[in-house]
Amino acid sequence: MTIYHPSQQQGAAVFQAIPLNNRKKLSSSEVIKFGRNPNICQYTFQDKQVSRVQFSLQLFKELDSSVLSFEIKNLSKRTSLLVDNRELGYLNKVDLPYRCMVRFGDYQFLLEKQDGESLEFFETQFFLSPRSLVQEVNWPVPEFSRLSSCSTQSTSPIEIDENEF
């Protein structure tokens, strides 16, 4: 995972608790949680804008397949999670492709899966990007610059004529 937050350039320690450049071996049955609470989350962010538990990653194997995959689930009631420009509300989950961009607030994660042999373990490794990942890999930027807060009400896109601005 390559990670980025704009405040890191001003010396903020938002990723202080995340081990950079080192591989960490985890059990394949473990659900990995990311957020602010160190008692619940394996990877924590030093930022009050982050939910206590922001999102989780879980390994799984499709039925009748030997291929291992990951799913990501948004566990924040306050903030949507954007996975390749697909917005996930609270408790929504999606299977991750081999390479994808995950964003919430000002946080950016480029997740890249590498194939391996083990069904018992997998490894994580974090790298800090010196510049925005959206700009670096020319990822499409959605129409809104920050992710919206989740609401329990269903909202639909509204079409507006250009002359109504």
Least confident of 38-47, 49-58, 71-80, 131-140: 131-140
Least confident of 44-53, 60-69, 83-92, 146-155: 146-155
pLDDT of residue 64: 84
d(CA 3, CA 15): 9
pLDDT of residue 66: 79
Across residues 53-70, what is the average pLDDT?
89
**SS3 of residue 155 by DSSP:** coil
Helix (H) or strand (E) holding 2: strand 2-4
Sheet harboring 55-61: ordered strands across?
43-44, 31-35, 55-61, 68-74, 93-95
Greater pLDDT, 150 or 33: 33
Across residues 87-112, what is the average pLDDT?
95
Residue 146 scores a pLDDT above 80:
no
pLDDT band at 117 (very low <50, low <70, confident <90, very high): confident
Per-residue pLDDT reduced to its tens digit, 1-38: 999 999 887 756 899 899 999 999 999 999 999 999 99
d(CA 52, CA 65): 35
d(CA 87, CA 84): 8
